[in-house]
């Protein structure tokens, strides 16, 4: 009986994971539609009714361009290994975030240090950029990986401080206490909320902080050499992480009754920011975090405590 229950729970987790990636497909479609409206163009509208299946068609087309022997065909087998290791690293990171999302909804006692697990997984993203960039042949990929790993020191530090501050105010890092918070809300923590949104934009590699790609000066950044199935995996994982962090901000700062409504609000906010704001210069980005945001964070934390 226990074996059957374990198989049933595993099947349910797989179904939820597939539904999560299905949500990612439709989120990509919505982003392309909104960007089209903001730029006075139609956006995707050819595949099926008003382009609903456009993301699925693009994904199938990318999977049809197989490139599993990249390292052998290029004559750099050891770097091809790092190339693919970076792809699977991003895939495992996205899967880890999805597992945290599912476990937090079940209020499992295994996730007593829920916020700590989120920080651990998010802080490892820099290694994925390094592996993808160094495993590629293009110098643009290597420069994008170096830029992403260095910028991670800035925004990861800010995000870590915000999570630590949230845990101090709640007096716990457990997901149960965050689900049942009362006085802890957006009104009393407006400054930390704004800092969290900015840090999540950096974590999700979204404009105006998408320095690992930077199409204007690095072609496509760390994923310049990626195509076919490998690019599809990177693309899907990037948006899966974005959906997760949209939920994560809602989980910390808002009540459980409106958590999914605010999750979609944060997802649309990331899209509108990309459509409305240009990319920052890199030295301005570093100065913004180390000279402004960290100072604002510590001042606001002292006031709240």
Closest CA to 65 of 239, 232, 240: 232
Under the banding of pLDDT at 50, 70 and 90, the label for residue 100 is: confident
Mean pLDDT of 201-211: 80
Alpha-carbon span 40 to 50, nearest angstrom = 16
What confidence tens digit (pLDDT) does each residue in 222-280 have?
A: 777 777 777 777 777 788 888 888 888 888 887 777 888 888 899 888 888 888 888 78
Q: What pLDDT is attached to residue 188?
A: 56
Could you report the per-residue pLDDT of 27-68, keeping only the tens digit for each? 888 888 888 888 888 888 888 777 788 888 887 887 777 655
> pTM of the full predicted structure?
0.81
Across the range 152-173, mean pLDDT stands at: 78
Is the pLDDT confidence value at 303 over 80?
no
pLDDT reading at 152 higher than 80 = no
Q: For residue 186, give the 3-state DSSP assignment.
A: coil
CB 263 within 8 A of CB 246: yes
Question: Which one-letter DSSP state was computed for residue 65?
Answer: S
Angle at 102 between CA 6 and CA 149, to 5 degrees: 125
């Amino acid at each position: 009986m226990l074996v059957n229950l374990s198989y049933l729970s595993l099947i349910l987790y797989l179904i939820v994971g597939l539904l999560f990636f299905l949500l990612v497909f439709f989120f990509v479609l919505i982003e392309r539609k909104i960007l089209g409206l903001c730029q006075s163009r139609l956006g995707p509208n050819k595949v099926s009714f008003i382009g609903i299946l456009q993301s699925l068609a693009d994904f199938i087309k990318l999977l049809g361009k197989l490139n599993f022997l990249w390292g052998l065909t290029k004559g750099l087998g050891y770097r091809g290994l790092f190339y693919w290791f970076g792809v699977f690293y991003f895939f495992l990171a996205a899967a880890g975030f999805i597992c945290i999302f599912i476990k937090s909804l079940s209020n499992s006692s295994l996730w007593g240090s829920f916020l700590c697990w989120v920080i651990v997984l998010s802080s490892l993203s820099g290694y994925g950029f390094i592996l993808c960039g160094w495993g590629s042949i293009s110098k643009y990929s290597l420069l994008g990986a170096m830029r992403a790993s260095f910028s991670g020191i800035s925004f990861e530090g800010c995000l870590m401080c915000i999570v630590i501050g949230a845990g101090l105010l709640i007096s716990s890092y457990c997901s149960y206490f965050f689900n049942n918070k009362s006085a802890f809300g957006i009104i009393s923590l407006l400054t930390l909320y704004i800092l969290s949104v900015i840090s999540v934009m950096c974590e999700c590699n979204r404009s105006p902080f998408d320095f690992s790609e930077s199409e204007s000066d690095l072609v496509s950044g760390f994923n310049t050499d990626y195509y076919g199935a490998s690019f599809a995996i990177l693309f899907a994982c990037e948006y899966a992480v974005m959906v997760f962090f949209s939920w994560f901000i809602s989980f910390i700062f808002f009540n459980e009754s409106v958590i999914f409504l605010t999750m979609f609000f944060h997802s649309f906010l990331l899209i509108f920011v990309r459509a409305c704001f240009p990319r920052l210069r890199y030295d301005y980005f570093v100065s913004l975090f180390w000279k402004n945001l960290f100072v604002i964070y510590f001042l606001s934390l002292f006031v709240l405590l």
